[in-house]
Amino acid sequence: MRVTLSGPVSLPFDLERPVVGAPMAGGPSTPDLAAAVTNAGGLGFLAGGYKTPQQLADQITTTRALTRGPIGVNLFVVSANNVDEDELEAYRQELKYYADRHGIEVGRARWDDDAWHGKLDVVRELRPDVVSFTFDCPPADVLHELNALGVHTAVTVTSPDEARTAADRGARILVVQGPEAGGHRATFDPAAEPGTEPLPELISAIRNTVDLPLIAGGGISTRDQVRAMLDAGAAAVQVGTALLLADEAGTNPAHRSALQDPAFTETRVTRAFTGRPARGLRNRFMDRHDRAGHAYPQIHYITAPLRAAAAAANDLQALHLWAGTGYRSARTGPAADIVADLAP
């Protein structure tokens, strides 16, 4: 059913500043960063991806001790897939060059669901204020159960069709991810080509599709851009790249240096590092390994040892350097100052 709204739908909780700290899996999102964003008047998020359930529980407990405000947790919804095992093995062999250079072994392809059930149990028990989902929409019974427990549910979407699916299943909030976003695209069908509709137009299209509060994310790095998203109908914005250089972020030193290195002049979407489309600073690894098709998390596990070794060796040309298009505006300093500078 198509709806036309005269103004943005409000979030089901109050924020002093309409800024959400994006969950950034793999290290950047820390309890200190989540708490700092919340304490600055926004909403800080923890990234559940790649953690064990116990690690996630420990981070929620730690964050709770650092703030009295709301906190969010993000979970991956990993879909089953059919991959060509021979093709994956060929890719492993293609990457031996990097492994030999660092004296390590290429990883083995495997599939898992990122401890989905264990992490849901953590959310049920510890009940963060908000739980968001990325890569797909959870079943309706999961969303309804969490809503009933008092946990606000949010689903990351990249199109009006995905927004309609999430709304129909019971999501209370939509995180609308535009094509400029850094890191993994949240597209429900990872085999499809990521959408290219600019974020303001995407916000408008989704507002005319569902009657839910929207959080806009993707390439947002200035106060004027925040104001433009709010004017377009978003209730808040989600920023990730803008926080990568924050004092409280767990961004590794190699990634931090690359974000400030003038040698990196553009971002690009690639499947080379994980098998799922993701935007990062363009480097030689992206250019040499132009992949298509859906092979997540299998390729993630193949390249994980190579990426860890590249980070340790400060090998910026072989490392995934996730970043949105606004990376040039990222700055160092306390997260509180960054949030204050962004809020209109």
Tell me: the pLDDT tens digits for 195-241? 899 999 999 999 999 999 999 999 999 999 999 999 999 999 999 99
Contact partners, residue 138, CB within 8 Å, separation at least 6: 77, 155, 169
323-342 residue pLDDT tens? 999 999 999 999 999 999 99
Percent of the chain with pLDDT over 70: 98
pLDDT of residue 4 exceeding 50: no
pLDDT of residue 2 exceeding 60: no
pLDDT attached to residue 335: 98
Beta bridge partners of 20: 43, 238
Sorting pLDDT into bands at 50, 70 and 90, what band is 7? Answer: low
Report domain extents, the chain: 1-78+113-251+329-344, 81-111+265-320
CA 120, 248, 271, 179 torsion-angle sign: positive
Is-contact 53 119, C-beta < 8 A? yes
Sorting pLDDT into bands at 50, 70 and 90, what band is 290? Answer: confident
Phi and psi torsions of 233, nearest 5°: 120, 5
Average pLDDT over residues 245-256: 98
Rounded Cα gap, residues 210 and 255, in angstroms: 37
81-103 residue pLDDT tens? 999 999 999 999 999 999 999 99
The domain defined by 1-78+113-251+329-344 folds into TIM Barrel (3.20.20)
Rounded Cα gap, residues 278 and 280, in angstroms: 7
Other beta carbons within 10 angstroms of residue 322's beta carbon come to 26
pLDDT attached to residue 191: 82
106-148 residue pLDDT tens? 999 999 999 999 999 999 999 999 999 999 999 999 999 999 9
Contact partners, residue 174, CB within 8 Å, separation at least 6: 154, 155, 156, 157, 163, 166, 167, 206, 210, 212, 213, 214, 215
Percent of the chain with pLDDT over 90: 94
pLDDT of residue 104 exceeding 90: yes
CB neighbour class for 103 (10 Å; exposed up to 12, middle 13-18, buried from 19) = exposed
pLDDT attached to residue 1: 33
